[in-house]
Each structure stands twice: as C-alpha cells, then as structure tokens.
Structure 1
Amino acid sequence: MTFSLVARCAETAMFGVAISSSSPAVAARCAHARSGVGAVASQNVTDPRLGPMALDLMSAGAGAAAAIAELQRRGSFMEYRQVLAVDREGGSAIHSGANSLGIWAQAQARDVAAGGNLLANDGVPAAMVAAFLGSSGHLGDRLLVALRAGLEAGGEAGPVHSAGLLVVGEQPWPLVDLRCDWTEDCPIAAVEKAWEIYKPQMEDYVLRALDPRRAPSYGVPGDE
C-alpha cells in the first residue's frame, strides 16, 4: 500500500526519502534519514524500528547491503517487511519479504532505490529510478520528480491519501520534512505545493538556527 524511493545526491551528500500511500501519515512511520549516514524507507506491514536500526548500522560503518542483510537476520517477521536503503557511498539495497502485499516490485541503481507494494503494476519502481537518474537540481526536486513519475506509471492499485518528503543535509536535523498526512485529493500534489513554498525559505531557517543575528526578516506582520 506504499511506493517510495530513497536517494543520495552525489554532489551535495544530502540524503532523502519520498513516499506515498493509501494509508494515513505514511511518512511519519516509514521515512528515515540521517545526516552523513544514509536514508531508509521501511514499509509494507511497517516496522518503524527498522529505519533507525539500519541507520545505526550504517553509522557504525556498514554499507546499505550489509545493513539490509543484518536486518534480515535481526528483524522480526521480515517476510512481511519491505525496506530500502542508500548509504554514504551511494550503495543501495532492498529487502522485499515474500509476504509483501499484492503486486510488489523494486528497482535500484547507484545513489537510489525504489520499491512498492499493492502496486498497479510492477513497473512503478523502475519508472521512479529512471526519473530520478534523469533529473537534476536540488535533491528535493529530484525526489518529487521521481515520486510523480511513480504515480504516473500507475502508483498504487487504489488512490493514495498521504505523502511525504524528507531531506537531510549538513545539520543533524532535517533540512526538509514536508508531509500531507491525509487528503481525498492528491497528496503528492499537496507536498509539491508545500515544497514550492518552502524551498525559497529553506536555507533561511538553517541560518536562523545557526546565527539569528544574520537571519533575514520573518516577513510577517510586526516583524521589522
């Protein structure tokens, strides 16, 4: 009931996740990323513990493939889980358990991995990977281009209701964490709109944290 991708920007070393689902609040449970370490999506019959576990393993030096292999050994009910990972070197790996729901598929390349379950067809992840690799610009833009490509390739078998975009940069907190937790309209379009608004202000919020003396105006009534 989810399709997603995890990715690394080779130029900036940013990591990110883009995800959408028919379930509510998918990004809150399934999207995980850590500055300087990697990105992970844990989905299908979700175990949110798998994301931090994989990131801890990669932080300790494991590559994406080794981290996924360790999850397969240590995780519970892994036959129900689908986990995607990308590491600091651009290595990618995927686990899709035998009990993944409905039509499930996966695709990967250097710097990117995509997967989904209860899909309309098995070509959705490959379309996402191709769109990501064919894109340019900020990692947030590229992730959303790929997520949109997945939707246009068929997406889920039914309508999606939630979506999210998570990006980490140099700081220990998320550079971008945008979500649509439920809508009867298109949640991907909602996240795209939020990104359109947030992107021009994004670096200002980092500056406000690091040095508020140099921060620009907040641009709200009463702020001079």
Structure 2
Amino acid sequence: MELAQWQQRFEAWMAQHHATDDAAHDISHFRRVWMTAQKIAAEEAVDPLVVLTACYFHDIVSLPKNDPQRSQSSTLAARKTRRILREDFPDFPSERLDAVAHAIEAHSFSAGIAPQTLEAKIVQDADRLEALGAIGLARVFAVSGALGVALFDAADPFADSRPLDDRAYALDHFQTKLLRLPDTMQTAVGRELAIHNADYLVQFMAKLSAELQGDCLGIDASIQRRFRHSPNA
C-alpha cells in the first residue's frame, strides 16, 4: 500500500476516534510533525511507514503536564498504538510494530528514553521542533492558559533573583526546557532547525523585556546576548 493511502487511513481513524480539545496534541499537530519529519528524513535511508505511523500516533495518549504520571504518556501511547494497529489496521505489517512502538516511546522529553533507531531520532526531533518557533510560542501559552499558569512573574520575569518555576510562570518554561532543546536534537538537520527556531523565541523574550521597561518599539539586546544559542554549545 502506498504511503499516502496509509496516511489517509490514519487521518480517517483520527477523525472518528481522536476528538480532542487539546490544541497542542490534535490532528494538526500530528500532520505538522509528519511534515517536519519528512524534511529531516529527506536524505536519509529510513522506513517511511514507521516514521509516518509514529508521527500520527505518538500522542494518542498525552497526559496533562501537571499529571503525576506525565512521564508515562509515551509508554502508554506506544502500548495503545500496538492495540490500535492490530485491531483496526490488521493489514499493517506486524514486523514494523516494534519499530513504531520504540519511536513513540522515545519521542517524549519527560520519558527520558534514548532513541535507538534513525526513525525514532527523526520522530523525536520533529516533535521537539513543535515546541520552538512561532508554533512553539503559541503552544506554550495555550497550554499554560489551560493549566491556569501565569504568563510571567512581573517582578522578576527572567528569574534573575529567584528559582525557575514553569509550573507557576509560562515564561520560565523557555529557560527550563525550550531553549535547551537544540542541544538534545538527534540529527544535524533537526539541530539546525531547532537553533533557528529557538532564536525566534529569544527574539520574543527580548521584545517582551523591552516592553516591560516601557519601550514599545525596541528590543532588549542584553536578553538577546544572554539567551541566544551559542554556536559552540
């Protein structure tokens, strides 16, 4: 079966079985991760069906960020995906199930599972790129709003004199996780894209800093210097 046919079937299944109000983990997210994965994998010898399937099902279970079992999401998603593929896609090649499950398990930041295959590395990179750039910026505040997290600490927005706490302040999440993502990327293409999009977040932080100081037109160069990714990192 052609890859496009598998994608159509997965999309149809999602439309029927995966209705969600979680804007960060909906069908549009799955599509974008797949599009990014194709860019990363363009020059690589990979199994595209494994990558496609993992991209579409990697967040079929996605517990809220404040759930105590959050780190188990990807393992639960891999387990559920095996069941879905066996029951609802009985013609899916059984010899690819282990590779799909591993790519799903290893995609999660909180799970801390190292990807062992190129397919898993590509899926992990593609998913992490969703946390950066304009989409990442929108997602972090959407998720924080849903959880009732404040945008930032008005008295100390960049945590100069306090511990970082992204459970209390959305902006803290940039330092606790997002700006660290480029150094976790598994592929050269993924790392290049991550650095570019992380710098977009730094630009936002610099603009925010200037506005908080009453400068609606400027950019805080000190924030740019402080947080921009070092090419030697």
Name the one with the larger helix percent: 2
Q: Same fold judged by TM-score > 0.5? A: no
Name the one with the larger strand percent: 1
Kindly name which structure, 1 or 2, has the bigger radius of gyration based on alpha carbons.
2
